[in-house]
Amino acid sequence: MVMNLKRCIIGISLGGLLIANACFAAEPAEVEKFVNARIEVGEMMMNYFQGGGPAGGGQQPSPEQMRNLGADIQAKLGKVLAKHDLTVEEYRKRSPEVFADEAAVKAYLNEHPDLKQRYEALPLDRMGRGGSTGRGY
């Protein structure tokens, strides 16, 4: 009797987990959109700051320069994301959910070796991969 009860509880628990995973799994079209957006945003950011960035090679920017830099980055980020029918706010809100489905992201990248190479070339800490120190672009 006790074994049957335990089996029943385990079965119900596992069923609930499977249903929860199915509900939280990212759609393939979303994975494609967000992975492509992350690659383009990451490459844009790397190019933007290449050689010391627009604020000047290695110097601490002034508060006004920081505001201008932030506004410029937001504008460029918005243009890149618009190509994927995303806004900055939507991307920041939804990307953690989409990238949480690591299996779907890996499967998509494995199907597209050229994108996988570009994705893996992005800095881990700034792209929300391998740690939560970045802004999740």
Residue 34 in any domain: the answer is yes
Residue 116 in any domain: the answer is yes
How many CA atoms, within 13 angstroms, populate the side-chain half-sphere of residue 56? 6
Residue 6 in any domain: the answer is no
Residue 125 in any domain: the answer is no
Number of structural domains (the chain) is 1
53 phi and psi angles, rounded to 5 deg = 80, 170
Structural domain that includes position 96: 27-50+62-120
Mean pLDDT of the chain: 78
Q: For residue range 67-111, what is the model confidence (pLDDT) as tens digits? A: 998 899 899 999 999 999 999 999 999 999 999 999 999 999 999
Helices 113-120 and 102-111 pack at an angle, to 10 degrees, of: 120
In the predicted model, what is the mean pLDDT of residues 49-53? 69
Tokens, residue 23: 């509900």
Please give the model's pTM, rounded to 2 decimal places: 0.69
Residue 106 in any domain: the answer is yes
In one-letter notation, the amino acid at residue 127 is: M
Residue 111 in any domain: the answer is yes
Residue 19 in any domain: the answer is no
Q: Is the pLDDT of residue 11 over 70?
A: no
In degrees, to the nearest 5, what angle opens at C-alpha 127 toward C-alphas 126 and 130?
90
Residue 128 in any domain: the answer is no
User: In the prediction, which pLDDT does 127 show?
Assistant: 47
